[in-house]
Structures are given as C-alpha cells and as structure tokens.
Amino acid sequence: MLDLLYLIPLFPLLGVVLNTFVLRGQPEKLVGSVAAAMVGASFVVAIGGFIQLLGMPAESRHFEQELFRWIVVGNFAAQASFLADQLSMIMMLVVTGVSFLIHVYSIGYMHGDEGFRKFFIYLNLFVFFMLLLVMGSNYLVMFVGWEGVGLCSYLLIGFWYTDELKASAGKKAFIMNRIGDFGFLLAIFLIWTTFGTINFREIAPMAQAYPIGAGVITAICLLLFMGATGKSAQLPLYTWLPDAMAGPTPVSALIHAATMVTAGVYMVVRSNFLFTLSPIAMDVVAWVGALTALFAATIGLVQTDIKKVLAYSTVSQLGFMFLACGVGAYTAAIFHLMTHAFFKGLLFLGSGSVIHGMSDEQDIRLMGGLKSKMPTTYWTFLVGTLAIAGIPGLAGFFSKDEILWKTFESHNYVLWAIGATAAFCTAFYMFRLLYLTFFGKFRGSKSQEHHVHESPKLMTIPLIVLAVFSIIGGYVGVPHALGGSNPFHTWLLPLISETTGAHGGTHHGVPTAEYVLMVVSVVIALLGILLARSWYLGKSPTVEALGKSSAQRLLYNKYWVDQIYDTMISQPLVKLSELFAKYIDIGTVDGAVNGVGSTLSGLGGVVRKIQTGVTQNYAVMMSLGVVLLLSAILWTVLG
C-alpha cells in the first residue's frame, strides 16, 4: 500500500480538476459527493499505508517515495519526494479523516450557496496542499504545501468576498502569515548552507555532530519557529486567526482549528533533532506557547461571538502544543494536536450547526435554550466541551494532562502554573459558551425562535463521528501511571531525538507526583466549570450586562492588540510610504526622468531653428557642404 503513497495527495488534486473542468453546472449533490469521495479515497489509502507501517519493525518504519528530481542547480538538489513515517502517517490520517467528515458536513452546510462548486474546489485544493506539507520528505516540499495552505486559507476566509470585512480578514491572514513565512524561508536557506541538504532524514544524523547550544542551530530553530508563530497563530502573530472566522464555518473547523494551524506544531516536531540541540530556542518555544495559551484563554473569557470564543480557544490550545514542544514533550504535542483536531473540529462544526439553525446568528447573548430544540448538536457539543475542558475519560484529558505533567516534570514550575491557569480559563469559557447557548431561555427574536431547527443528517452524522473520536481518541495515549502503555508515545519515540533527556518513556517507582498533578488539573477544570455554572446557568444575561467593568472591556477588546499593531506598525508604515511617495518617487525618481526629458526637449528647441522650412536655405547649406567637401578633396590632392 505504501507504493501507492503518491495517490494520497493525488486524489484531492483530481477532485480539484474534476470539479473545475468536468462537473461544471452539475447538481450540488454530485459536486459535493465527488469532492468528499476523493478525500475519502485518500483516507482509505492512508489507512492501508498505516497498517503496512505497523507491520514493520519499529526502527525501520519509514518509506520514502521519490517522484522526480525537482530542482538541481550546482550542488543543490531538491527531490519531489514523499516520506511516510510514524509522524507523517499520523498527520495523514488526521488530515484526511477529519477533512472527509468536514467535506460531508459541508455538503449540508453550504447547500444553496451560489459558490458551492468553488467552495469544494478550494477545500479539495486545501487538502492537497496540506498533504504535501505533511508528506514532503524535505523542507522545500513542505514549504510548497505550507504556502499552498496559506493561499487556500486566504481564498476561503474571503470566500464571501463581496463583504469587505471578510475580504480584508482574508488579506490580514495572508499578510500575517507572510511575515512568518519569511522566517521559515530564511531557515531553509540557513539549513542548506549549514548541512548541504534539506532532507529531514539526512539532516537528523548530521545535526548530532553539533554541540548543544551551537549558534547556527539556534538561529535555524528561531527562524523556523518564526514561521510556526505565523502559521499556528502564536504571539505576536496570532491576530489573524480570530478574524479568520469570517470564512464559512466548515472552513474554520477544517483549516483554522483542525489541520492548517497545527502545521507549525508539526514542523517543530519534525525538526525536533534541531530544537533539542538549542536550549535557547526550546525556552523561547515553551514561553511563547505558554503565554499564548494564557493570553488567548483570557480573551476567550468574555467574547460574545460563538466562533470568536472557539477561535481564541484554538489559539490557546495551539499554545499548549508549543509549550509541550518547548519542554521536549514532542509526542505529547502531537497527541494533543490529534485530540484537538477531533474535539475542536467537533466544536466548530457544532457551532456551525447552531449558526445554521439560528438563521446565521452568531451572538451567544441572543441564543439560549437550544438544548431541547437541537438535541444532537447539544449532546455532541457537550462531548466536545467536556473533552477540551479536560474531564477524565475524554480525549482532551489525556493529552492536556500529559503536556502539563511533562512541563512539571521538566522543572518548569512557572510554565506549569501558566498552563494550569490557562486550563482553568478554558474550562470556564467553554462552559460559559455551553450554558449561554443551550441553557436558559431563548433570547433571540420571535422569527428566529420560530425557525430554529435541528440540522440535516449530513451535518449531524459528522458531528456524531467526531464526538465518538473525541471520546475514544485519547485511549491511544493512556499514560503508564493510569495503567496504560501509552502506545502513541512508543509509536513516535524512534523519531524523537533524545539529546536533552528531559523526556522519555521511563518511569521510576510509584508516580505519586503524577497522580497529584492529575487530581490537581481535574480539580482546576471542575472549578472552572462550577464558576461558569454559578455565573451563567439559569441566568438570562442581557446584552448590556456583559462587558461592564474595565477588566472586561480590556479583555473584550482583546487587550487592544489590533489597535496597538495599527498605531505602532501599520500607521507608521503608511506615513513612511507617503513620505517615500512624495520625496523619493515624485521628487527624485520622477524628477530625474522628467529632467532628462526636458533637457532633451530644450536642446531640440534650439536645434530645430535650423529647420526653417524654406527650401532655399537647405539648398544653401547643401551648396556650402559641396564647396567644403570639394575644397577638402582638392586640398589633399593638390596640397
């Protein structure tokens, strides 16, 4: 099955071609089914590859497929080749599996939209690029996928481009990502000049020759991480992600929660052999991750748009993943990436179902009491909320707990405290969202109340499937302390560089501390839930009641970061360009060009006086010329 590796990205690309050229003007059902079937086919091939990989001995679980030699210049060579190993296989399964469900959901959600076919073309194209990103066996193929998903993200955020706000949200995402990509590109250049290759599997052994803390490795890691902060919406480049919610909700679920935004985490884990060599870069990653987790979680506490809450929640959860990377718990990061894809995909699709049922209303202050009207959505949303809050038994508990435990274990107690606080906020804002949306009295308009309905089967079935995964998805990583064998950790371990020794599968004696921490994080989650319960359950907060105190205003306005960026960066740039336009462009460049023109024109004005138009003047000139020529000739002949 691994010989067919190339089919995995090929199917979605085929879907793009079919929907672009062949299925023009065909009914929605066919267009959507073809697009979903293509991703489903990729998923099947990926499962086949996974089974084959399982059958191999743990140390040689990798398969590289070279399609063609892509760029060969001097001694630089880049192959267009795919790599299937423990890490990329998990990503392939998550990407194709979650994408398939979201494609199915979208057939219901986008029903009747005039851009229906265009939507599925973009969605398939996105899956293709995402698969390039995770399957590439070198940084350059990864970069192509990286840029491609950025493009699709831009196209899909601005999908309803006639709304100027949505179009500019797309531009914002694109530009913010560009800033990060700049770092990623520099990192690739530096990797090539340092190692002479860009292939992951070739760099890994070479990197071992460098001492821990080598300057060039630190530079590479920091530049790579700059790329990751852009794509994965970390401080300071996170502001695009909340705005990205302007796109259709399935897009938010697929691109801006489950897959694309995790690309940065994937890239850091993929480069773990470099990061472990650089304690400085590790600290930067851990701190940025932890601070982002807390920062975004606090903003999420007071947001009133259902998708904005989930967006800040995503930023926060990505922060957790980077925190895990930063303390060397790479497997925990990927584990959380996977469980997050399930429950955050579920939550976004659930919010989409709510928005659909509420006739495009997104303000949770105007919802309430939807529990009885949309039972399937409610129950699946509850599962997702419990999973993200970290309630034992669900996927989010195992992964988030592993991250917090590994942070504690690596003696970063301050980081652990930040993470635990963020976890408390997470439980609080998610249950605030749940109570405001599904409990209490209905607060919307009469016509909305009359119209509220459960979503069609095409939308609820993916919800149920994702809910099931949000429950069972965590059991592949049950820690040793709870009697599990953590097969997920064991599976990924051969890929993880062991240089720092801050992590590993070994546990000595009775893990008392681990039990204590586990209880602490459950208590924290329960406290958050109870606080949200006492504040919001059974109450019917009016629009005015939310967002009164100055602290709330600060949070509601997202710490005014957007305004700060505008004043500190955008406005000075605009002013600078105006100066350049006035003095450099109009003054210097235009002045030089016009100067040349007017000089020649003036010279011409002088010379053109010779051209009198009187024929006899020309004849005189000609005669004088003849006389001069003759004199010269005679002079030479006779003289």
Residues binding other proteins (CB under 8 A): 608-616, 619-620, 623
Whether residue 388 contacts residue 317, with contact meaning beta carbons closer than 8 Å, is answered with yes
Please give the helix or strand (H or E) that residue 84 lies within, else none. strand 76-85
Nearer to other proteins, 619 or 629 (CB): 619
**Pick 74 or 613: Cβ nearer other proteins:** 613
Contact status, residue 372 vs residue 503, Cβ threshold 8 Å: no
- For 446, counting Cβ atoms within 10 Å of its Cβ (0-12 exposed, 13-18 middle, 19+ buried), the class is exposed
User: Please, which residue, 446 or 608, has the CB nearer to other proteins?
Assistant: 608
SS3 of the chain: helix, strand, coil, percent, to 5: 75, 5, 20
Q: For other proteins, give the closer residue by CB, 535 or 618.
A: 618
Phi, psi (5° rounding) for residue 85?
-140, -170
CA-closest candidate to residue 234, choices 274, 290, 282, 185: 290
Structure token pair of residue 209: 């020759």
Q: Report whether 488 contacts 477 (CB < 8 A).
A: yes
Least separation in angstroms between residue 607's CB and other proteins is: 8
CB 246 within 8 A of CB 165: yes
- Smallest distance from other proteins to CB 571, Å: 54
Name the residue among 255, 264, 259, 258 with its Cα closest to residue 233.
264
Q: Which is nearer to other proteins, 472 or 622 (CB)?
A: 622
Minimum distance from residue 595 beta carbon to other proteins (Å): 23
Helices (H), 358-456: 375-389, 395-409, 413-438, 446-451
Return the number of the residue (211 or 613) whose C-beta is nearest other proteins.
613
Dihedral in degrees, nearest 10, Cα atoms 218, 221, 227, 229: -90
**How near is the Cβ of 623 to other proteins at its closest, in Å?**
6
CB nearer other proteins, residue 614 or residue 638: 614
Least distance to other proteins, CB of residue 594, Å: 23
- Cβ atoms within 10 Å, residue 253: 32
CB closer to other proteins, 550 vs 611:
611
- Looking at the Cβ atoms of 501 and 613, the one nearer to other proteins is 613
User: What distance in Å separates the CA atoms of residue 393 and residue 384, rounded to the nearest whole number?
Assistant: 12
Please, what is the minimum distance in Å from the beta carbon of residue 604 to other proteins?
Answer: 9
Least distance from C-beta 161 to other proteins, angstroms? 56
Q: 612: Cβ–Cβ under 8 A, 6 or more apart, which residues?
A: none
Least separation in angstroms between residue 614's CB and other proteins is 5
CA 85 to chain centre: 22
Alpha-carbon distance 254 to 341, whole Å? 8
Tokens 């902060």 correspond to 229
Looking at residue 624, its amino acid is: L
What is residue 56's DSSP assignment?
Answer: S
Residue closer to other proteins, measured from CB, 550 or 616: 616
161 or 618: CB nearest other proteins: 618
Among 55, 56, 51, 50, smallest CA distance to 87 is for 50
CB of 596 to other proteins, least distance (A): 21
Instruction: Name the nearest CA neighbour of 127 among 149, 101, 105.
Output: 149
Do residues 259 and 156 lie in contact, with contact meaning Cβ atoms separated by under 8 Å?
A: no
Q: Which two tokens stand for residue 506?
A: 């070994």
Encode burial over 448-477: b for 16+ CB neighbours within 10 A, e otherwise. Answer: beeebebbeebbbebbbbbbebbbebbebb
Closest contact distance (angstroms) between CB of 628 and other proteins is 15
Nearest distance, CB of residue 629 and other proteins, angstroms: 15
Residue 638 beta carbon to other proteins: minimum distance, rounded to whole angstroms: 17
- Considering the complex, state which of residue 165 and residue 626 has its C-beta at the smaller distance from other proteins: 626
